[in-house]
Amino acid sequence: MTYNIALGAMLFGTVVDQQRSFEILDRFVDAGGTWIDTANCYAFWEHPSGFGGQSEELLGRWLARRPGVRDRVRISTKVGCEPLEAGRFPETAEGLSAAAIKNGIEGSLRRLGTDHVDLYWAHKEDRRTPLEETVGAFDELVRAGTVGALGCSNYAIWQVERARNIARTNGWTGFSFLQQHHTYLRPRPGTRPTVVHRFGMVSDEGVDYLESHPDLGLWAYTPLLSGRYTRADKPLPPEYAHSGTERRLAVLDEIATETGTTRNHVVLAWLTGGEPAATPIVGVSTVAQLDEALAGVALVLTPDQRGRLDAAA
């Protein structure tokens, strides 16, 4: 079976040790999973050095110990957020200059032990660097065969449109994927989730832009709110304390009961089957959590169930 899901490897090699990480990766591939998402900065905030690279290094070790598996998976990684000085993020983030992008991909390929990545992301916008320089540097990687496709994450929609227009004007390969935080619940108007970059959440404008540009795919990070849909020990943050959350959770519970599943299953099914359809990035720390996520994206909601979820939204 083919799943519309990406396995988030952010904490592999730090919070999730090598043995468990390998178990999860093996299960993901054996179940038919394809996309694995990481970044060159993962997870600098968890490592004593204050620098990232541990996730890519672990994936590199896994690929080296699984002959032939590189041909069965697609690697997605990012550049732009690795701190240049420990303990000073975001002010010393590497950014998206041509030099930073060149150094970023070289380091990622070395750690991953591969000669290409299938999808390369601008991790967050860099207003210090001309957008033309960033877009041109990414295009060079595609022309060299080092990168398959390009995406941007945590970008304002006007910046996405401008970057894509620069690529069209110059005959360059542009961004064809957008990675933002997206889930069923929404924070109170005027606020945003505390773990999200300023332009990191899918807005109504973003949904409209994606619907108008079907050539731009959406990847959704933190789709399950780090376990907060189902775990009593992880309450929702204050920005979700409003009547809209109560309505949405009530409908989630109704449909979870009807389908014999959980809130997590229903949220993932809503994301993957929606308009625009999203590819959820699921970060898991156990094989059981991975199996739940795979079951969620395999769940097909009826038109009535999806309509009730949308109406509550």
Question: Which whole number is the average pLDDT over 277-294?
Answer: 96
pLDDT at 3 over 80: no
Instruction: Give the start-to-end residue ranges of the domains of the chain.
Output: 6-228+265-300
Q: Write down the catalytic residue from 3, 42, 184, 229.
A: 42
Res 50: pLDDT = 97
End-to-end CA separation in angstroms for the chain: 31
Contact 173, 138 (CB under 8 A): yes
Percentage of the chain modeled with pLDDT above 90: 94
CA 216/CA 209 separation, integer angstroms: 9
Question: Which whole number is the average pLDDT over 182-188?
Answer: 95
pTM confidence score: 0.95
Question: Which whole number is the average pLDDT over 30-39?
Answer: 97
CA 307/CA 313 separation, integer angstroms: 10
Confidence of residue 189 (pLDDT cuts 50, 70, 90): confident
Res 23: pLDDT = 98
pLDDT at 66 over 70: yes
CA 298/CA 5 separation, integer angstroms: 10
Which SS3 state, helix, strand or coil, does residue 70 take?
A: helix
Determine the residue type at 166.
I
pLDDT at 312 over 80: yes
CA 126/CA 255 separation, integer angstroms: 42
Res 2: pLDDT = 65
Determine the residue type at 181.
H
Mean pLDDT of the chain: 96
pLDDT at 1 over 70: no
Q: Model confidence over 246-263: pLDDT tens digits?
A: 999 999 999 999 999 999
Confidence of residue 313 (pLDDT cuts 50, 70, 90): confident
User: Is residue 42 annotated as a catalytic residue, yes or no?
Assistant: yes
Question: Which whole number is the average pLDDT over 79-100?
Answer: 97
From the list 53, 23, 5, the residue with the least C-alpha distance to 277 is 5
Confidence of residue 196 (pLDDT cuts 50, 70, 90): confident
Burial pattern 268-281, b for ≥16 Cβ within 10 A else e, equals bbbbbbbebebbbb
| 6-228+265-300 to CATH, choices 3.50.50.60, 3.40.50.1110, 3.20.20.100, 3.30.43.10 | 3.20.20.100
The secondary element (H helix, E strand) that includes residue 25 is: helix 18-30
CA 305/CA 260 separation, integer angstroms: 13
Confidence of residue 193 (pLDDT cuts 50, 70, 90): confident
Determine the residue type at 262.
T
* Omega cis (within 30) before 130: no
The secondary element (H helix, E strand) that includes residue 135 is: helix 131-143
pLDDT at 191 over 90: no
CA 19/CA 66 separation, integer angstroms: 14
Tokens 């542009």 correspond to what residue? Answer: 174
